[in-house]
A and B are shown apart, each in its own frame.
Chain A
Amino acid sequence: MLTIRADLVDAMVSHARADHPDEACGVIAGPEGSDRPERFIAMLNAERSPTFYRFDSGEQLKVWRSLEDTGDAPIVIYHSHTATEAYPSRTDISYASEPDAHYVLVSTRDPDDHELRSYRIVDGVVTEEPVSIVEKY
């Protein structure tokens, strides 16, 4: 189960809408081991593509270093699908390498109604989980 504040959900959806029709991506960091997403970090999609995303490698290094310095970890790794459902693609599964992260997908294919779902992806196995949206932790 992913428990996440409503303002962080709103931030992911806004980012996905803003970058549509390209895929948007980012992380929500929180204390390592806490499973509590707290700090929203929008990342550049270095691919600038409607069908693919990749964190800019230089930006990723800076962000990962800052997380390590503050004892944080990427609790949520999110990206958008702009023409398909919010379910991990084969490419998403092959790249997934953070077994402790919640992989959140936001679909913006419907201009009026987004779809947001969360998954664990471990050793190529996708498990969907419920999302509990709360006002505060």
Chain B
Amino acid sequence: MPDPATVTVSIPTILRTHTGGEKRVSAVGNTLAAVIDDLEVNFSGITERIVDGDKLHRFVNIYVNDEDVRFSGGLQTQISDGDSVTILPAVAGG
């Protein structure tokens, strides 16, 4: 196993209650799923706001380097050192 990659994660307003108000936090992992697991270690409760079962929650968009992961491998998207991960609430409705 390679050393886990370190990435910066941008946190949307709605999830900053979990990060003590921080807009950007660091996390490690070689896949997006591993990065989210690492976020949970430091920011308890954040995972259930992002993940629904084994899928990305429909209420959020996650981007790795500007690429929406829904189109690039979902939670299994590979992460490299220095990547940026951005979480945004999906804006949608009926």
Contacts and interface: CB of A to CB of B under 8 A. Distances in A.
Nearest to A79: B93
A89 B93 CA distance: 7
Contact of A52 (B68, B91, B93): B93
A55 B94 contact: no
Contacts of B14: 97-99
A48 to B, nearest CB: 13
Interface string A86-115: 001111111111111000000000000000
A53 B92 contact: yes
Interface stretch (B27-35, B37-45, B73-81, B82-90): B82-90
A61 B88 contact: yes
B94 A89 contact: yes
Interface residues of A, number: 29
Contacts, number: 67
A67 B68 CA distance: 19
B70 interface: yes
B8 interface: no
Given A57-B68, A60-B61, A61-B63, A95 B88 contact: no
Residue of B61, B70, B90, B94 with most partner-chain A CB within 10 A: B94
B90 A95 contact: yes
B70 A57 contact: yes
A24 interface: no
A25 interface: yes
B13 interface: yes
Nearest to A46: B92
A54 B68 contact: no
Contacts of A51: 94
B59 A90 contact: no
Top 8 closest A-B pairs, CB basis? A92-B93, A91-B94, A97-B89, A54-B92, A89-B94, A55-B91, A57-B68, A57-B61
